[in-house]
Amino acid sequence: MGLNVYLSGEIHTDWREQIIDGAQGLDITFNSPVTDHDASDDCGVAILGEEPNKYWHDHKGAMVNAIRTRKGIADADVVVVRFGEKYKQWNAAFDAGYAAALGKSLIVLHGPDHQHALKEVDAAALAVAEQPSQVVVVLRYVLTGKLPG
């Protein structure tokens, strides 16, 4: 058994690298959204033409990014969604809902202060973790049946 894992959500810390590094040696394919903030914001107009209106500027970019996001989630066995300390991160919650409706196994990663606000998202998850290292251990256990220690 191998796993395809999509890493959604917060892009301002190195949690993706921590998980990917920690999971070395396991049969896992990782995918992620584009995490270059400027490229992600501007891809639509940079490729398909400028928009004077900021709404359509954002819209064109969000649509292009959706090609990658939908493919990433559709291919995934497990979707990990990380909620950071800042920003609205509605796209993370949207991805979680999207993944849940498709029946993907959902792992949610967030600090304890977000527990109440994320209770509906957590309720759709098979694991709720606080640290990227816990996600690594979950993935290793799922693939090998081994617990640390």
Footprint of a copy of itself on 3-62 (CB under 8 A): 3, 31, 34-36, 39-40, 42-44, 46-48, 53-56, 58-62
Can you tell me the distance from the alpha carbon of 20 to that of 102, in angstroms, rounded to the nearest whole number?
24
Total residues at interface with a copy of itself (CB under 8 A): 83
Shortest reach from residue 65's CB to a copy of itself, in Å: 7
Nearer CB in complex with a copy of itself: 18/58: 58
Indicate which single residue of 13, 21, 50, 94 sits in contact with a copy of itself (rule: CB under 8 A): 94
Strand order in 127-129's β-sheet? Answer: 28-31, 3-9, 78-82, 105-109, 127-129
**In this structure, are residues 95 and 9 in contact, taking their beta carbons and an 8 Å threshold?**
yes
**Residue 141 in the binding site for a copy of itself (CB under 8 A):** yes
Indicate which single residue of 22, 26, 84, 137 sits in contact with a copy of itself (rule: CB under 8 A): 137
Distance, CA of 113 to chain centre: 19
**In this structure, are residues 109 and 91 in contact, taking their beta carbons and an 8 Å threshold?**
no
